[in-house]
A and B are shown apart, each in its own frame.
Chain A
Amino acid sequence: MNYPIWEVPIIGGGWLIGIVAIIHVFVSHFAVGGGLFLVLTEIKAYKNNDPIILNYVKKHSKFFLLLTIVFGALTGVAIWFTIGLVNPQATSALIHIFVWGWAIEWVFFFVEIAAVMLYYYTWDKLDHKTHLIIGWIYFIAALLSMVIINGILSFMLTPGKWIETRSFWDGFFNPTYLSSLAVRIVTAIVMAGIYGLLTATFIVEKNNRHNVLKYSSKWVLPFMLILPVVSLWYYFTLPDIPKEIALGGISFVSQTAIIGIIVGFLVFLIVLIFGYFNTRLFTKLIGIVVMILGLSIMFAGERVRESIRKPYVIYDYMYSNGLIINEFDVIKEQGILKSAKWVEIKEINEENKIQAGKNGFKLYCSSCHIVGGYNDIKPLIVDLDEETIAMMINDLENYRGYMPKFAGTEAEAEAIAKWLYKFNLENKKEQ
């Protein structure tokens, strides 16, 4: 209501955030788990006095540096850029609540970046012990940055007592804080193993390649078994409505979850068969396939987590369209067009009704429904007449589940309905 709405065609702003976020999440979890992978593998190399494993870790660390420090860091900034553009009101709220959380995360980020560079640049310069300490510093800083950001992310779904107390700590240590942190840490370790499997395929010498493959599999397999357990824990910490959505309340959400579980099972089998028992058969292609499947699991997980928050961006505090729940009654009184700052039409009359409807839709609905694009509104209203559409809008939260209450006036609902009904008329003409 407060900010101009950026019109993103076809995919909409929500998916834009999704695309950027998923890329970042894939690299950032690796940045955490991979840190542990590096130091533990380095220790193993020293212990067994194994120059080939050592050489492998060195090479892996270069890949690690180039991937995390450039791609990981910048896609993280990209999420921040994107949420500010797509949902400035929510970003502003999060920044106001958690600016010091972010400031603390920034300290860890800084240490992390310095440590990973020095770790890579000092392989042949430092004694083993000091080099390992720098590796540990990297891992701990990376882990701690996850520990912080997880508080802010989980807050959005379960703000818990913050809604009443408005206290930083209540928001940070919210009801799903621990369970979602557990899911993220286990995922990070699995990812480290998956990346390890891929880089291992580049080792030319056979026996060593097999050893590293087997070693990396041991990072994937046990933690793939723990992943469902922590996920289940996460599920039980959720409030009722998100639980309901996940269990079929919105069919694509539960479908996504099921696909995620099946793909997870597949990854487990592939890694068990080719990564552990038949390492001869683990080719680069399989490495890439496992990587892509791994990406799909994370994609499914994040997608489900985002979807069960409907219709809120910050649960019980702000709807996805940026409306602050506390302000609902005031807005309802005067309508959304008058409350909104960035619309051209403030008063509805007979001439501008359709245009007003378009404005109203953009304000209230376009954060989730893109005309002719993602979650297209047209097929959802195709059989309805104008009055029914208006009735549905007025009673939004009851007609289809998990939509926000409508904060507009009846005239605004009629205007939106009139504009939407135009699509049905166009449709009929075409037929």
Chain B
Amino acid sequence: METQVIIPDIDPISVPAPIWLLKILLLLTFTLHILAMNVAVGGGLIAAVTEFLGKKNNSQNHFELSRSISKMLPPFTAFTITLGVAPLLFLQVLYGNFFYTSTILIAWPWLSIIVIFILAYYGYYLYSFRWEKLEGKRFVVVLISALLLAVIGLIYTQNIVLMLTPEKWKEIYFNNPHGTSLNLSDPTVIPRYLHFMVAALAVAGLVVIMWGIKKIKINESLGKWGIRYGILWFIVPTLLNIIIGLWFLISLPKNFIMLFMGENIYATVYFMIALLAMFVSLILMFVALNSAKPLAKIIIGKVFLLLTIVMMVLMRHELREAYLQPYLNWDKVQVEPQWGVITIFIILLLAGIVTVIWMLKKSFGQKSNVDPVELS
């Protein structure tokens, strides 16, 4: 064997858009996908815990909340898929030769995502549509569904890491060409995965806070309880995630750690902003916890959290480019933009967004007392 690392050639057909445009779309749609996923997975886990606590303490507040979350889970699961399709598309144009190869190595686990997803999704619908009738079984139904979705995340993380490490492919494939391998032995997979999942709880905690704010007008004590409960769901996972993030960082090969420590100016700046924004949002939420008028702090806290997420996505991208740097030379990629079709896409995208906003306005805007979060 002449080479240790085998990488499929770049497709002979040129890339039909500038690389920067595809990267922007990849990162933008990925961020939106992650936000929806956070509500779908984190929300499901919070609902499970809330069901459990409600039953244990016979607490009406808990059930009020879990009922509301149950209605949000199916639509946010739908958004997770829809918003997930787009980044997967752009990923394939940009990094197809890496992505297809790593996927083939773990083909069956990868395909099982579909079955797992269908089960989890119907589980969420069951939880939502049969909430009253399920009674004591609610905890189990929503917990299993949320955990199934969380398993999908683990398969994704394995593939996304495997596509960055072509050094490992050859051995995996020649030992097992049947596509039943996994990539759990990579030391970065578990911390990377947990970093995402625990963040999902924190983001879903924000949704609970928003629910509390809405409820205050109708039922003050319920609303206040919801805000406190949501803030706790934000604070505890975020604190935990500092430790997991550190674990993830030190699990990386040393030259990649250094990227964030000054070696790569972009990576370092993103990292600094992310840390700073995360601490600001954390402090604001702490203050809001015992504040009589928490609204402003919460809103600013949310903005900073969003900033953190965007920075994290950018850091992840820098890390990917660093991993692939020895194998991928963007200057050698042939680009022939299809500007006509790109223009049509952008026009239709805007038209699509306007249409969806119009439908949402019509559906929820007519009666002002209808909760925009409660999609029912």
Could you tell me which A residues sit within 8 Å of B by CB distance?
Answer: 2-9, 66, 69-71, 73-75, 77-78, 80-82, 84-85, 88-89, 91-93, 95-97, 99-104, 106-111, 113-115, 117-118, 121-122, 125-126, 130, 134, 137, 166, 168-169, 324, 326-327, 341-342, 344, 346
Contacts and interface: CB of A to CB of B under 8 A. Distances in A.
A4 B177 contact: yes
A96 B359 contact: no
Contacts of B17: 99-100
A5 B179 CA distance: 9
Given A100-B345, A114-B359, A324-B12, A3 B104 contact: yes
Contacts of A8: 178-179
B355 A85 contact: no
27 contacts: A2-B8, A3-B8, A4-B101, A4-B173, A66-B125, A70-B122, A73-B81, A78-B114, A80-B88, A82-B111, A84-B100, A85-B107, A89-B11, A91-B92, A92-B100, A95-B93, A95-B96, A96-B96, A97-B13, A100-B16, A100-B341, A104-B341, A108-B352, A113-B78, A121-B375, A166-B13, A324-B12
Nearest to A326: B12
Contacts of A9: 178
A69 B340 CA distance: 31
A68 B7 CA distance: 38
B11 A92 contact: yes
A70 B179 CA distance: 26
Given A66-B125, A104-B344, A88 B100 contact: yes
Contacts of B101: 3-4, 88
B13 A93 contact: yes
Interface stretch (B206-214, B219-227, B360-368): B360-368
Given A85-B100, A88-B100, A96-B96, 19 more contacts: A3-B101, A4-B173, A70-B122, A78-B114, A81-B113, A85-B111, A88-B101, A88-B104, A91-B100, A93-B13, A95-B92, A104-B345, A107-B352, A113-B79, A121-B376, A125-B363, A125-B366, A341-B6, A341-B7
A334 B25 CA distance: 41
B264 interface: no
5 A-B pairs with least C-beta separation: A88-B100, A100-B341, A96-B13, A2-B8, A107-B352
Contacts of A103: 25, 86, 89, 345
Interface centre among A71, A77, A91 (most CB of B within 10 A): A77
Contacts of A95: 89, 92-93, 96
Nearest to A98: B16
B20 interface: no
Interface centre among A4, A82, A88, A324 (most CB of B within 10 A): A4
A5 B363 contact: no
Interface in B163-201: 169, 173-174, 177-179
Contacts of B97: 2, 92
Secondary structure type dominating chain B contacts: helix
Interface centre among B14, B104, B125, B349 (most CB of A within 10 A): B104
Nearest to B169: A4
Contacts of B356: 110-111, 114-115
Contacts, number: 185
A80 B81 CA distance: 13
A344 B75 CA distance: 48
Interface in B79-123: 79, 81-82, 85-86, 88-90, 92-93, 96-97, 99-101, 103-105, 107, 110-111, 113-114, 117-118, 121-122
A97 B12 CA distance: 11
A5 B85 contact: no
Contact of B179 (A85, A92, A114, A341): A85
B177 A5 contact: yes
B246 interface: no
B85 A106 contact: yes
B140 interface: no
A113 B366 contact: no
Contact of B110 (A81, A121, A122): A81
A134 B361 CA distance: 12
A96 B82 contact: no
B114 A75 contact: yes
Contacts of B359: 114-115, 118, 134, 137
Nearest to A93: B13
Nearest to A81: B111
A4 B352 contact: no
B363 A118 contact: yes
Contact of B89 (A5, A7, A102, A134): A102
B325 interface: no
Contacts of A5: 104, 177
B342 interface: yes
Contacts of B103: 81, 84-85, 88
A93 B360 CA distance: 37
Nearest to A107: B352
Contacts of A326: 12
Contacts of B177: 4-7
Contacts of B74: 117
B363 A6 contact: no
Contacts of A107: 345, 348-349, 351-352
B16 A99 contact: yes
Contacts of B351: 107
B306 to A, nearest CB: 21
A3 B114 contact: no
A400 to B, nearest CB: 27
B9 interface: yes
A118 B12 contact: no
B257 to A, nearest CB: 31
Contacts of A342: 6, 173
